[in-house]
Amino acid sequence: MPTPKDCYIDLRGLPFHYRDWGGDGRPVLLLHGLASTCHIWDMVAPLLAADFRIVALDQRGHGLSAQVDDGFDFATVSGDAATLIAALGWERPVIAGHSWGADVALELAAAQPDLTAGLIFVDGGTIEPSARPGWSLEQAREDMAPPIFTGFTPQMMRERVMSGARFGPNPRPEIVEAVLANFRILDDGTIQANLRRENHLRIIDALWDHKPSQLYPTLKCPVLMLPARQSTPDAHDRRFRREESIAKAASLLPISKTVWLEDSIHDVPLQRPELVAETIREHIASGFFGGSP
């Protein structure tokens, strides 16, 4: 397995961190979701690096990248990714985004249609809170606000991940470390989310104004949608809403394909990295996104 390089770069006057997994072939930029970090790709990236050139970015306010209190609108955040692509000297990469990261990729491809060869939505790219019946911005801010972990220590968080049902019994050590990477350790030994709560809410505000259904028809590049779903009874309502949103996206996107990741949770890059990596590899290798740039 390749060993990543932790790299730092100045983008538009701000410091950003990314993990460079090396590799040759078509370049692929990996974008994490809201309140996550580049480490959510730590088990997918090395598998992809066997065939492609792989970089995973910590987006602004997340991980080890710039801790700022502005620029969380989609134009600015997607502009960060575009500036990194230019700095790397890449031509028409594929951009894979998880959750909110897929919506960042969508905004980027809509704003700069010739920049990317294709998009991959990993259980994301369809977030449109303002279209949800009965919701207001205040309701979205309340329901999508981050959990509060005041007083938690790294060991408490580690035990929470190890004992929870989210990833099943005995989760891989890489999963635990990826979750812990979402936090920094304070002087008193407790943890605090890297993404400050007020910035999390700023991103929710940006999501409220985000209209994927208006952006889909404008895209020039192919889109591979990899939504996750479960068959458990308690997931029925979420599954129905997700299937509805995916069907709407597929009807509006000029070129798209949907591959459902069955029996998978939202954080599927951690839960089933082999499935995610192989599905991405297969579609790039088969020419879904066109020939190599």
Q: Mind telling me the catalytic residues?
A: 99
**How far is 1 from 47, CA to CA, in rounded Å?**
8
Residue (of 121, 128, 129) closest to 99 by Cα position:
121
Through-space distance between the first and last CA atoms of the chain, rounded to whole angstroms: 26
Q: Which residues contact 140 (CB under 8 A, 6 or more apart)?
A: 129, 130, 132, 204, 207, 208
Neighbours of 157 (CB within 10 A): 18
- Joined together, the tokens standing for residue 208 give 């409220």
Residue 81 Ramachandran class (φ > 0 left, ψ -120 to 50 alpha, else beta): alpha
Edge-to-edge strands, sheet with 118-122 = 5-11, 14-22, 53-57, 27-31, 94-98, 118-122, 223-226, 256-258
Q: Could you tell me the maximum CA-CA distance found in the chain, to the nearest angstrom?
A: 53
Q: What letter does residue 32 receive in the DSSP assignment?
A: -
Backbone angles phi, psi at 28, to 5 degrees: -130, 125
How far apart are alpha carbons 266 and 84 in whole angstroms? 27
Distance CA 215, CA 150 (A): 38
